[in-house]
Amino acid sequence: MIDNVDLTLVDWSRAQFALTAIYHWLFVPLTLGIAFIIAVMETIYYRTGNPEWKRTVKFWMKVFGINFAIGVATGIILEFEFGTNWSNYSWFVGDIFGAPLAIEGILAFFMESTFIAVMFFGWDKVSKRFHLISTWLTAIGANLSALWILVANGWMQHPTGMWFNPETARYEMNNFWDVLLSPMAAGKFVHTTSSSFIVASLFVAGISAWFLLKGREVPMAKRSILIAMVFGLLSSVYVALNGDFSAKVTSEYQPMKLAAAEGLYEGTEKAPIMAFGVLTNTDKPLDNSNKFLIKIEAPIPGLLSYLAFGNFDDFVPGIKDLILGNEARGILPATEKMRRGYESQQMLKKLHEIKDKKSEEYKAIYAHFLDKEWLETNFKYFGYGAYYHPDETIAKKNAEQLIPSVPLSFYSFHIMVILGMYFIVLFALIGFVMHKNVLTKQRWLLWIMVWSMPLGYIASESGWILAEVGRQPWVIQDLMPTITAVTKIDATSVQTTFWLFAAIFTALLIAEIRIMVTAIKDGPSNKH
């Protein structure tokens, strides 16, 4: 199949989706996190009745409102792209995604829009208690919206709770709870939302630090930093813990992603974690050349084995094991998976060639798609069939296409982890300085807080790059590769819309930054 695919089209379609997803994700994490920070602040106002807290809440609500308004609906473009550029994929998964995305739409519309209106318009018009409840429900609603998107994404990374209908060529959900509660979906939800809390905490702390540096709104800034510090520290520690859970889930269902993220070419027991490194020779993934120009391993041996399997001695498969196979470890070579995938495809082809659906031959072939053993040994590699070739040499070359971009996966993973550790230290340091009551005197720390604001976004985007690049070439793990998912349309039209989106999103981002900067410079006021 690879020979039949216009890779220019695939690359542009991927680039377009990546561009829109990355831009969309610039707006989302702040909304998810700052909503809870505001809710905590308003709870303090509700309990103390101190009008200074109300003023603080109103200021951050204004910031929330700007970010929400500019970011709202930017994700809809991704759905447009599904229908136009990824129509095969949309058809393949339509039944699975229908329910979660419908729930997301209803939640987003009713919970967020209703309670956001109370948040902004309801001061002095509804009771303090009802206003507070609305603020909390806005925060919970925003995060629940994210849940359904992340459930859908989690399913793509680890398909479960479904069966393949060979007549319609669609996956159909047969267990909603398996889809909702899959470890991949759970891991994605907690990791994504809690990392968004860090982005928001850094943002609130950074803006507040700027106020302190300017000598303006000092009490409000100190209060805000206190809340952001506590929220940020708790979230940073929690992200590290649930990141460990994500790594274990990834090692089970997406071992190639873990290997690429760690630059682990040769599988090994007591696998070490690479603290950082500089890659080389990544264009020859299966040869024996040295793959690192610089390599700094974490001092604890077997840490990657522990991260992956909870045991310091366990074997972690490398990229070569996963492509060439490792009989001793029970890992099939990719060429065998490609052969099994191809056989599954042949079965589907035969089924659709038979016109008489009541014939014995039709029933016999259909029975395969209900046979658990056949599904488990052959059909689970359905997507690999796209890379099959009867010539062993060509098949082996095709197998290299099953390796994601190691540099992108490796660097994005390490940037995310290093920044994650930095955030823990930063929030702890802010806490220590606040405890000593010398925050305003530590101007260097205030400047660090200001300049740490973009780092939250960089870490968050890096996490997504790892999640999405690291699972390539799969759109749906092992079942549908990108080359099959893409619609065979003119690549020029995809290029056109790519640049169109680049222009629109850049304009929106500039608008957000300008309005946000003006609003922050104005400081707290009574209007919104």
10 Å CB burial of residue 78 (0-12, 13-18, 19+) is middle
Among 84, 268, 326, 440, binds other proteins (CB under 8 A): 84
Judged by DSSP in three states, 170 sits in strand
Beta-carbon contacts of residue 121 (< 8 Å; ≥ 6 apart): none
User: Which residues does residue 297 pair with via DSSP β-bridges, in sequence order?
Assistant: 274
DSSP 330: T
Residues 335-394 contacting other proteins, CB under 8 A: 342, 345-346, 348-349, 352, 385-386, 388-389
* 487 binds other proteins per the rule CB under 8 A: yes
* 440 binds other proteins per the rule CB under 8 A: no
Q: What sign has the CA pseudo-torsion 115, 116, 121, 127? A: positive
d(CA 106, CA 108): 5
Beta-carbon contacts of residue 350 (< 8 Å; ≥ 6 apart): 365
Among 46, 91, 366, 422, binds other proteins (CB under 8 A): 91
* Closer Cβ to other proteins, 297 or 343, answer by number: 343
Q: Which amino acid is at 383?
A: G
* 217 binds other proteins per the rule CB under 8 A: no
Q: How many CA atoms does the CB half-sphere of 216 hold within 13 Å?
A: 10
* Closer Cβ to other proteins, 22 or 520, answer by number: 520
Element (DSSP H or E) covering residue 179: helix 176-180
Cα–Cα distances (Å) from 281 to 284, 290, 292, in that order, read: 6, 7, 8
Among 24, 43, 46, 90, binds other proteins (CB under 8 A): 90
Q: Tokens 């398909």 label which residue? A: 159
Among 11, 95, 99, 120, binds other proteins (CB under 8 A): 120
* 83 binds other proteins per the rule CB under 8 A: yes
> Per-residue contact track with other proteins, 163 to 182, x per CB under 8 A?
----xxxx------------
Minimum distance of other proteins from residue 504's CB (angstroms):
7
Minimum distance of other proteins from residue 234's CB (angstroms):
31
* Closer Cβ to other proteins, 313 or 353, answer by number: 353
Minimum distance of other proteins from residue 317's CB (angstroms):
26
> Which two tokens mark 153?
């994404």
Interface residues toward other proteins, by CB under 8 A: 1, 3-4, 62, 65-66, 69-70, 72-74, 76-77, 80-81, 83-84, 87-88, 90-92, 117, 120-122, 125, 167-170, 342, 345-346, 348-349, 352, 385-386, 388-389, 480, 484, 487-489, 493, 496-497, 500, 504, 508, 511, 515, 519, 527-528
